[in-house]
Amino acid sequence: MQTTKPSSKMFLDIVEELKLMINAEGITVGDKLPSERVLAERLQVGRSTIREALRSLELLGLIETRRGEGTFLADFKKHQLVEVLSTFIMQQPNSAVDVKKTRVIHEKAAIEEICNDPVKRELPVWQSLIMIINDEGTVLREDIMREMIIATDNRLSLKIWFLLKQYSRVPYGEMTNENENGMLIALLENMISGHVVEAIVSYDRWIEVIEGEMNDDSRVV
Amino acid sequence: MQTTKPSSKMFLDIVEELKLMINAEGITVGDKLPSERVLAERLQVGRSTIREALRSLELLGLIETRRGEGTFLADFKKHQLVEVLSTFIMQQPNSAVDVKKTRVIHEKAAIEEICNDPVKRELPVWQSLIMIINDEGTVLREDIMREMIIATDNRLSLKIWFLLKQYSRVPYGEMTNENENGMLIALLENMISGHVVEAIVSYDRWIEVIEGEMNDDSRVV
DNA sequence: ATCGAAAAGTGGTCAGACCACTACTGTTTA
DNA sequence: TAAACAGTAGTGGTCTGACCACTTTTCGAT
């Protein structure tokens, strides 16, 4: 049974065994894994060792445990890759600048992808956003960017962006004001028209404005 | 002591407590953490619960344990995290696509940033790469992209890219062959000259080629 | 002062015992 | 017959105490 030589870290071997078992038995997303006691019996180790391996995988979001029910292979949507990254990446010096740059990378990439894809350009959500801005005079800032990232249909990028947004000092949680609405309309319309360069320019202007505003605020504080 | 309400997942609370403790006591990379028995005493939980939390952090590469010595805050150069996650994540149909798209986003962003920054364009590393390709006829694929990301001076993007690279099926771990060297030279020279569009085109061609080659390989297998 | 053996400290693992919760099963009841 | 109920088996969650293997420290003999 023991195909892999036991290392000094038994629980790591268990993780490997579990991966093999999942593949061998065709366990897929949502399926139930054998119970801890069964696994301990089958792999000939103590239950606590099994638990250490399972808890590791749970922290990564690879499995999901429900008391009284069992342990289940988790859906990718629940994978904690990004969250995990954040815990040990974010609190480094210089990270504020990096976080902003990286957030912008993802936002611009979304804008460009939409501009270059007729189908995504014609999504009704853009017209809706324009109407909301015109009718109500304001909209939640982050709603706009989020819709753009969502439109790219890239869950991973969305997750990364969401996390970066939280760590950013950018005031996305606020409503837009008169000054920026024009730029946003320009951004949206350029995007709808597929004018990449102009859309990016509008975006840059908008970011510049709301970050300038943020700096004014922080000066007061 | 218990500032956070106990959830149904005690070991997750312990992970949080540990993070707080690490920050509060100024424990930095390489420092020793309190022993498992001390932690159990201090947090008023069983040692097995402490261990489940520690094992989770160990699987992430956040801590390092040495039998007989203790538990230490690790430098996260250990990305065993990736090996674990990748096998689980890659089973999901769409995630592979997302990973690739996101990796490309970061790579193109790096190319564009270098193109638009005279200082970064004139870094000696690009000439070195061109010389290596010309003289030795080959170079490690990932070296090129890594140097580009490094040049952007964005550690966060570099870390994300590094992880994505390992998740990707792109054969970056191999040496370049005759076919692609021309495209790489074109990419580098366009970049040095600041020709954004042309550089991106060269990049797209290169990626297309090495991914095509990869598909051929898998067909053989 | 040096060397070496004993002791203390630490992570690694196991077994067994409860607890809290869920799901199943069989009986009772309307 | 069908619904409601209670009991039971199964599951994850946690704790305790006991070893083991290993490293560091301590301290006595030389």
Give the tens place of pLDDT for each residue, A179-219.
899 999 999 999 999 999 999 999 999 999 988 776 655 44
Q: What is the separation of C-alpha B14 from the centre of its chain, rounded to a whole number of angstroms?
A: 27
B153 forms bridges with which residues in the sheet? none
Domain boundaries, chain B: 11-79, 94-218
Query: Residue B107: CB partners within 8 Å, gap ≥ 6?
Result: B145, B148, B149, B161, B203
Fold classified for B11-79: Arc Repressor Mutant, subunit A (1.10.10)
The pTM score is 0.66
Q: What DSSP letter does each residue of A131-175 carry, written as one string?
A: HHHHHHS--BHHHHHHHHHHHTT-HHHHHHHHHHHHHS---TTSB
Q: What DSSP letter does each residue of A3-27 carry, written as one string?
A: -SPP-S-HHHHHHHHHHHHHHHTT-
Quick check: A106 and B105 CB within 8 A? Answer: yes
Q: What DSSP letter does each residue of A84-130 carry, written as one string?
A: HHHHHHTTSTTHHHHHHHHHHHHHHHHHHHHHT-HHHHT-HHHHHHH
Residue ranges, chain B, pLDDT below 50? 1-6, 77-79, 217-221
Give the tens place of pLDDT for each residue, A89-127.
554 546 678 888 999 999 999 999 999 999 999 999 999
Q: Give phi and psi for B33, each to the nearest 5.
A: -90, 160
Query: Residue B117: CB partners within 8 Å, gap ≥ 6?
Result: none
Which stretch of DSSP H or E encloses residue A216? Answer: helix A196-220
Residue range B94-218 forms a domain whose CATH class is mainly alpha
Give the tens place of pLDDT for each residue, B149-191.
999 998 878 878 887 887 777 889 889 988 899 999 999 999 9
SS3 A65: strand
B70 forms bridges with which residues in the sheet? B66
The residue written with tokens 């312990």 in the block is B14
Q: Where are the alpha helices (DSSP H) in chain B?
A: 10-24, 36-43, 47-59, 80-89, 93-115, 118-121, 124-136, 141-151, 155-167, 178-193, 196-220
Residues of A with CB under 8 A from a CB of B: 8-9, 11-12, 15, 19, 28-29, 48, 51-53, 55-60, 62, 67, 76, 79, 81, 84-85, 87-89, 92, 94-95, 98-99, 101-102, 105-106, 108-109, 152, 154-157, 160
